[in-house]
A and B are shown apart, each in its own frame.
Chain A
């Protein structure tokens, strides 16, 4: 155990949902690590050297080797530290479902989300985001077990729950600062509420009030 835990560094940025995902995975698995917040307006040598292709955070550096792209990093963390809080399911078909919805989240859900942030409260984009949330709601009905717990993973968080977790703070933030009207997705909302209550999430996700300030400055004051 100890040898794997050596030299785990995270290049992070507290408002980034992608950074939050990795922080959460590390917290769920109890992996000690060094957290190096990055100034994205003035990128550090370590960031540019460890991610020369995209120059973005998060970057996980493990035993000197960089791993990039949040979903790929969480996948890696799950494979290297499999015993505590396993994230991907055992079953190959369910694993494929988690990867499918991960791809959907990053291609469709996140894309419509980012366009809403840049759109100055455009109702059509809000609706598009909501339609994508409804698909997530459907996936949750199919893959989760309500009797077992609120997450895709039932009572405990799984891969998809980690990827979606940042919305637990970002959706309220954008709702309150920018007038986002969220969709009626009862199970998705229960999931996000359960995320907010989770001890690891409290360590990995920023306070909504702090995020609101950031959102105000970054997106709303245009």
Chain B
């Protein structure tokens, strides 16, 4: 175990949901690492050299080698440190489901939230709600309610880690920009999942406080 943990550095940015995912995975697995906060307005040499293609956070640097893109980094972490808190399911079909819904989240939900933010809350958020309903359906299909609130049952799995940052970002957008999330009636299990995320000890460290995120969002709005 010790030799795996050597030289793990995370290039992070605290409000980034993608950065939060990686932080959460590292904490769930108890991986000691150096956290280097990045100034995205003035990108460091290290960031530009380790992610020349996209120049974005997060980047995980392990034994000097960079891995970029949050879902890929979490995949990598799960493969290199499989003993603690396994994230991807054992079954190949379920693994394909986790990858599918991660891809869906990226293409649809993340995209809708992005457009909502860029339009200063003007873009219609009906599509976002419809996509959340699909995710609720996925949870009903893949998660076992008797076992626990997560896609992984009682413990967090890959998909839970991918979705976890929404547990703080959605309330922040709701309270600062008037985003209307799917109601508890519409998405009861998703609401329970997000509730469980905010109570989880690792998530409490990896995710910022909603109040701090609200200030960040408010400040960016004012600057437009």
Q: Render B184-219 as a binary contact track against A, CB cut-off 8 A, 1 for contact.
A: 000000000000000000000000000000000000
Question: In the complex, what residues of B have CB within 8 A of residue A69's CB?
Answer: 99-100, 103
Tell whether A65 pairs with B93 under 8 Å between CB atoms, given A53-B104, A53-B134, A72-B99: yes
CB of A92 within 8 A of chain B? Answer: yes
Q: What bracket does the count of chain B residues touching chain A fall in?
A: 20 to 34
Q: What are 16 A-B contacts defined by CB distance under 8 Å?
A: A53-B134, A67-B96, A67-B100, A72-B96, A72-B103, A76-B95, A76-B96, A79-B92, A80-B92, A92-B79, A93-B62, A96-B67, A96-B75, A99-B72, A100-B72, A104-B53
- Nearest-CB residue, chain B, relative to A139: B53
Q: Does B154 contact A (CB under 8 A)?
A: no
* A100:B69 contact, CB within 8 angstroms: yes
Interface centre among A67, A79, A100 (most CB of B within 10 A): A100
Rounded to whole Å, the gap between the CB of B178 and the closest CB of chain A is 28
**A67 to chain B: which residues have CB within 8 Å?**
93, 96, 100
Pairwise interchain contact B76-A92, C-beta atoms closer than 8 A: yes
Interface contact A99-B104, CB-CB below 8 Å: no
Residues of A within 8 A of B99 (CB): 69, 72, 75
Would you call A79 and B68 a contact (CB within 8 A)?
A: no
CB of B103 within 8 A of CB of A93, answer no
Considering the chains assembled together, what is the distance between the CA atoms of A103 and B68 in angstroms? 10
Name which residue of chain B comes closest to A73, CB basis: B96
A135 within 8 A of B: yes
- Interface of B toward A, CB cutoff 8 Å: 53, 62, 65, 67-69, 72-73, 75-76, 79-80, 92-93, 95-96, 99-100, 103-104, 134
Given contacts A72-B96, A95-B75, A96-B72, 12 further A-B contacts (CB under 8 A): A53-B134, A67-B93, A72-B100, A72-B103, A75-B95, A76-B93, A76-B96, A79-B92, A79-B95, A95-B79, A96-B67, A99-B72
**CA–CA, A33 and B103, complex, Å:** 26
On chain A, the residues within 8 Å of B104 by CB distance are 53
Q: Hey, which chain B residues are within 8 Å of A100, CB to CB?
A: 67-69, 72
- Complexed CA–CA distance, A76 and B100 (Å): 11
Chain B residues, CB < 8 A from A96: 67, 72-73, 75-76
A73 to B62, CA, bound (A): 28
Complex: how many Å from CA A145 to CA B95?
A: 30
A68 on interface, CB distance cutoff 8 Å: yes
Q: Are B72 and A75 in contact (CB-based, < 8 A)? A: no
The winner among A75, A80, A92, A95 for most chain B CB atoms within 10 A is: A92
Note all chain B residues with C-beta closer than 8 A to A53: 104, 134
Partner of B65, one of A73, A93, A135: A93
Interface residues of A in 48-98 (CB under 8 A from B): 53, 62, 65, 67-69, 72-73, 75-76, 79-80, 92-93, 95-96
- Min Cβ gap B94→A in Å is 10
Most buried by A among B53, B68, B95: B53
Question: What's the nearest-Cβ distance from chain B to residue A80, in Å?
Answer: 5
CB-defined contacts of B134 to chain A, threshold 8 Å:
53
Residues on A with C-beta less than 8 A from B67 are 93, 96, 100
Most buried by A among B68, B96, B99, B104: B96
Provide the residues of chain B in CB contact with A103, threshold 8 Å.
Answer: 69, 72
Docked CA distance A104–B134 (Å): 26
